[in-house]
Structure 1
Amino acid sequence: MLFVRKSYILPTAFLLSLIYLLFSSLPPAPEALDIDDREFSPPPKQNGGQIHWQKGREKHPIKSYIPLPTAAAPLPIPKIQHDFPSESWYRRRQRVNRQTAVKQAFEHAWKGYKKHAWLHDELSPLSGDNRETFAGWAATLVDSLDSLIIMGMTDEFEKALAALEQIDFTTTDATQINVFETTIRYLGGFMAANDLTDGKYPILLKKAVEVGEFLYSAFDTRNRMPQSRWQWTRTAEGLGIEPSRNTILAELGSLTLEFTRLSQLTNDSKYFDAIQRITDQMEAAQQKTKVPGLWPVMVNAEEMKFTDPRFTVGGMADSMYEYLPKEYMLLSAQVNQYKSMYDSAMDAIKDRLIFRGMTKDNQEVLFAGNAQAGMPSKEDLEHEAEHLKCFLGGMVGIGAKVFRRSAEELRIARGLTDGCIWAYDSMPTGIMPEIFHVSACDDMDDCKWDEKKWYRDVQRRLSKGTSAQNAQQEGKSLVKTHGLAPGMTDISDARYFLRPEAIESVFIMYRITGDKTLQDAAWRMFKNIEKITRTDYAHAAIYDVRDRHTPKLDYMESFWLAETLKYFYLIFSEPTLVSLDEYVL
């Protein structure tokens, strides 16, 4: 998780600005150097038979880096946060009590991780065992550093710092490295903690550079697009790599924040160069895809083809869109490219993906569905909602403020956020399912509850061929069989993975609007999650949100401590703690 203080983005020398003016128009394609221009490096070290990566000669080096944008002074970005008035004594007491409860949940899970899975990637919260899911470099420890700082757990933070020297980022038992996951959990974790502590602890930047240097080798391909599931031992042994013809969109397009911030902290443009080449390719393709403005779920990164017919803002695509306004802010509004790409994407999202769900109380709840290329109209949209899409409310809210877009988009942001709150409140456990389908309104502005339509929609979604004449009767039976809340037509994945996306948007919309009903919604969400996921060791994912006695699953991803509980903590904090006007999250 990356936290970047905006005020850190300071001017550099006039010479660097001049270089930017001279070279910013360079084409994104890399220029190869003669092999003699690079210093030869020895083969990788061997330690007990284990391969160790070390910085070596690139096969496809860059002749001139795209320079990191700098300016004499950061350009103004519109204010995001609400002007919060002073709170009453009662409201403050209530807020602090809630915040304390969140911190206690974090302390419980952190204690379990520290006791049973220290320096491993994840704690198994039922068995007390551990898991190595992200190369075995202590993902939960690194990813949670910023949460420890924010919650004032100084002693625990310093114990975690002391353990960092034991992590060796030159080797792993994993045969492939997920570049995206390694970037957000490790690189982001180190730099977030570094920025939150004003660079007080040099080991944080040192480790960030170690990870950055390691990951940079994944970009050493003919077109400089990264091999997203990097066969790192090939690189270590001096062999070539190429990007995949089946690359997940989010894994290709969601490296911008961390790599840009690393360039800002090190004054080394190569990291920014690496991701800016991806951005340039994405911009060039954006209006040429089968749904102009959007990118498909899968990309042929070897040939930079975008022919996949599937389009969504959910899993496998989400952060490609989320990072556009955030990168714009991180670069102090100096690169209009990210605004232009966001504008195009947002217009397409509104036109092709967003729909209103029909609810019994006629609440204005919005969701983003999935589109297929060739669909003639929005009526053919798949009305599938998922927890991963819940980031969208926060993104649209921030985009509306930062890019001064219409007031309508703040309303859309709130509707998307309320859609996720509604999904939580609709389940017996008070927890939203991973994936479900919704009965969509025919009219976004005028939508009244129609029980017969709901039953028909359920029958169409779940029927195995029964005659439409019996649609209502069969729909009513299917609702009972599948445990569907009014308005839902299917729950295709009833699990909950301790995900942060819903509370992230609730937190962001609270900071934007100051609406305290969002704090109350967050409290309901937290109480239900904490109660049903708690184990003796920590907290666990659950199997079925429709069942108050659901079995638990023996895993707890690092984002539970690094994001979910952090956002719950922040929504009950003073608004000045990690202000959206001071940090890019």
Structure 2
Amino acid sequence: MAVIRRSRAAPLLALAVTLFLLFGLEYSVPEPASSSSHQTATQKQHKPKPRLHFTSSSGFNWSAAEQWYPVESLAPLPRGRPVQLPRVQHNFGTHHARNNGAVTEARRLAVKDAFVRSWESYKRFAWLEDELTPVTAAAKNPFGGWAATMVDALDTLWMMGLKDEFYAAAQAAVDIDFSKTEESGVNLFETTIRHLGGLLSAYDLSGEPALLRKAVELGDMLHMAFDTPNRMPGFWLTFENAKNGIQKAGTHDPSAAPTSMSLEFTRLAQLTGDDKYYDAIDRIRAFLESTQEESLLPGMWPSQINFASQSVLNDNTFTIGALADSLYEYLPKMFVLLSGREGSESYEKMYRRSTEIISDRIIFSPMIKRQPTDPSILFAGTVYVHDEAGPHLIAEGQHLSCFAGGMFLLGGKIFGIKEHLKIGEGLARGCGWAYAAFPTGVMPEIFNLIKCAPNDEECEWDEARWKNEGGGNARLPSGFINARDPRYILRPEAIESIFILYRVTGNEELRDVAWDMFEGIMKSTRTEYAYSAIADVTVEGETRKDDSMESFWLAETLKYFYLIFSPPDVISLDDYVLNTEAHPFKRT
């Protein structure tokens, strides 16, 4: 990658930020973000006094840690004139933005009630631990023991107007010691999207300086993961390895893991003026751009990558589901967060090229029973590339890949690609259809369908073909060959895309789709204390609970349900970019 010299102003700005963070000197931080981009002069003049107090609680100063493979010069954060990007949201009008309607408001309050019920049980039985076990009312710590649910839910608390709860939780988050964990290290990707993303969005919404200072403290720790011979991070950040300079990039890591830190590190660079955060992820961008045509399916990257040798030839599996999903999700979102400034064009280029292959090779129409007036639906499968046979599509859907509807909708609006709006709607509605198809009202984690022949727009239902190819199981809805992984683990991706489709089109019918999904989840997952992942969505009646409630239940799933029933100026997609954990970052 070509070495880019940083501007003269950047070191001075970074120095000012460092002095502020260390000594509490006066430092002008960005305006606190609100639910709307419109603020009066009076609001800007009278900033509320900070309510959070920061005193460094870290037992190790990662900002002063030795860099064993130092960077000679940093790629600078794009700071030129922002481009006026196309509007993402439908023009709802002022009246619609203010008048939410009695039915919609009742639905929004029902979502809030589910959140509060979950939050109160987390506080009672698992406070400052990562997760509540919603059946046995205990706690577990799969993410370092750094209160993942609490940090992940900060911005949801703010959006729902639970300000007292927000400030209590935010102060507890500011007091976390990120140098101590029950494990030898932490999952770099998960810590970035949940903890760093949670702190940054909470700062963007509240304007509390202590949250930004805590984000810098954590960001400096996570930045150490890039201190490897080729500046590519590994999957785990192991503290002793980082301190002793023996970290290495992975040889068979999920492609989404190191490539899905760009939004968080870019926002941290924007808020602090420190180019080191942007430089770290810009090297990954350059790697992705240079290898996009080198894989076994040119235009896409495989599910797993050898980041140590920087090769994309060691895997023949291609998907936008598990292991690869947010790699693609972040391409258009990075362009938006950078406001199309000079230096962001490669994200558009990579998005356009990858979605060309995704549209041609990954997305398929399923053979289902439908009426002529029913909307078209689409799903994303998995492609395996074999030496002689070439690419082969398996029509296997995943709940994780349901995010893709929102990705195509955002890319279609920002880059002016009309066909992507159609694809995005088809993907979003496909996942909504899958929820409605099962007796629990919830779709499974992984399932197989029968794909229609390419360009077969009619694709009439064939009962004999369905049964011949493995369907016909009395517990499976028509069209499904299997529910290979029949669980539902409180995932957000389906409602995420339905929410974005609503905000893009303004189609009120989508709120009814969302409500049906919400009711299905409530019916199937409720426990005595909160809501739980379930073992099998195909059953009639009572479901078996898996005693798991990941932090994304409060950070994403309930947030998206709350937002679709909120006025459209609440976290407008023209004001914010949401990371893969649904944390909104202010567009600047």
TM-score scaled by length of structure 2: 0.85
- 1:268-304: CA deviations, max 9, x gaps? 0000000000010011000111101100011111101
1:364-443 residue pairs with structure 2 within 5 A? Answer: 364-374=376-386, 380-405=392-417, 407-442=418-453, 443=455
Distance 1:379 1:446 in 2: 25
- What letter corresponds to residue 205 of structure 1 in structure 2? L
Query: 1:365 Cα shift?
Result: 1.2
- Work out the CA distance in 2 between the residues paired with 1:258 and 1:184: 7
Please name the residue that 2:291 is paired with.
285
Classify the secondary structure of the residue corresponding to 1:385: strand
Matched, 1:111 2:117: no
Question: Of residues 139, 150, 158 in structure 2, which corresponds to 1:149?
Answer: 158
Alpha-carbon separation, structure 2, partners of 1:17 and 1:444 = 55
Alignment length (residue pairs): 518
Give yes or no for contact 1:53–1:233 (8 Å, CA) kept in 2.
no
1:446 is the counterpart of 2:461:
no
One-letter amino acid matched to 2:234: Q
Name which of 542, 548, 564 aligns with 2:557. Answer: 564
Q: How has the CA–CA distance of structure 1 residues 207 and 17 changed in structure 2, closer, same or farther, with 3 Å as cutoff?
A: closer
Q: Following the alignment from structure 1 to structure 2, what is the Cα–Cα distance between the partners of residues 411 and 377?
A: 31
SS at match of 2:513: helix
Which residue of 93, 97, 113 corresponds with 2:106? 97
Give the conservation status (yes or no) of the 8 Å contact 1:367–1:419.
Answer: yes
Q: What CA distance in whole angstroms lies between the structure 1 residues aligned with 2:568 and 2:422?
A: 22
- Give SS of 1:306's match: coil
Match of 2:270 among 242, 250, 264: 264
Deviation for aligned residue 1:14: 8.5
Which residue in the other structure is 2:54 paired with?
Answer: none
Question: Are the aligned partners of 1:325 and 1:338 in contact in 2 as well (CA < 8 Å)?
Answer: yes
- Between 483-492 and 182-191, the greater mean CA deviation after superposition: 483-492
1:515 partner amino acid: N
SS of residue matched to 2:469 = helix
Q: 1:88 to 1:392 in 2, by over 3 A?
A: closer
Shift of 1:373: 1.5
* Residues 558/337 of structure 1: CA separation in 2 closer, same or farther (3 Å cut): same
Which residue of structure 1 lines up, in the alignment, with residue 489 of structure 2? 497
- SS at 2:460 equivalent: coil
Q: What CA deviation, in whole Å up to 9, does each residue of 1:389-443 have, x standing for no partner?
A: 00000000000000111x2221111110111011100000000100000111124
Partner of 2:535: 543
Structure 1 position 174, deviation (Å): 1.0
- Residues 1:228 and 1:18: Cα distance change in structure 2 (over 3 Å): closer
Match of 1:301?
Answer: 307
Contact 1:355 1:444 in 2 (8 A): no
Matches within 5 A, 1:514-529: 514-529=506-521
Which of 542, 549, 553 pairs up with 2:546? 553
Distance 2:493 2:238 in 1: 30
Cα distance between partner residues in 1 of 2:11 and 2:240: 39
The 3-state SS of whatever aligns with 1:373 is strand
Task: Indicate yes or no: 2:70 matched with 1:64.
Answer: no
Shift of residue 52 of structure 1? 4.9
1:577 paired residue number? 570
Tell me if 1:78 matches 2:96. no
- The match for 2:222 among 206, 215, 219 is 215
Residue 82 of structure 1: how far off its partner (Å)? 0.4
Deviation of residue 91 (structure 1)? Answer: 6.8
Instruction: Flag structure 1 segments of 5+ consecutive residues without an equivalent.
Output: 1-12, 20-49, 459-474
1:486 aligns with 2:478: yes
Query: Hey, what's the Cα distance between the residues in 2 that align with 1:494 and 1:500?
Result: 16
CA contact (8 A) 2:395 2:448 kept: yes
Residue of structure 2 equivalent to 1:127: 136
Comparing 145-154 with 89-98, greater Cα deviation is found at 89-98
Confirm or deny that 1:174 pairs with 2:180: no
For 1:258 and 1:336, how far apart are their aligned partners in 2?
19
Q: Deviations over 1:463-516 (max 9, x none)?
A: xxxxxxxxxxxx54xx22xx2110111110000000010000000000000111
What RMSD, in angstroms, separates the aligned Cα atoms of the two structures?
A: 2.1
| 8 A Cα contact 2:143 2:190, kept in partner | yes
Question: CA 1:155/1:394 → structure 2, altered by over 3 Å: closer, same or farther?
Answer: same
| TM-aligned CA deviation for residue 164 of structure 1 | 2.3
| Contact 1:180/1:252, CA 8 A, preserved across alignment | yes
Contact 1:218–1:232 (Cα < 8 Å) also in 2: no
TM-score (norm 1): 0.86
Amino acid at match of 1:221: T
**Is contact 2:490-2:533 (8 Å) kept?**
yes
Equivalent residue, structure 2, for 1:337: 346
SS in 1 for 2:386: coil
**Are 2:288 and 1:276 equivalent residues in the alignment?**
no
Matching residue of 2:23 = none
State the 1:574 CA deviation: 0.2
1:17/1:69 contact within 8 Å kept: no
Closer/same/farther in 2, CA of residues 89 and 14 from structure 1, 3 Å limit: closer
Distance in 1 between residues matched to 2:329 and 2:100, nearest whole Å = 32
Structure 1 match to 2:327: 320
Aligned mates of 1:89, 1:452 — CA distance in 2: 52
What is the CA-CA distance between 1:162 and the residue it aligns to?
Answer: 2.4
Q: 3-state SS of the aligned residue for 1:433? A: coil
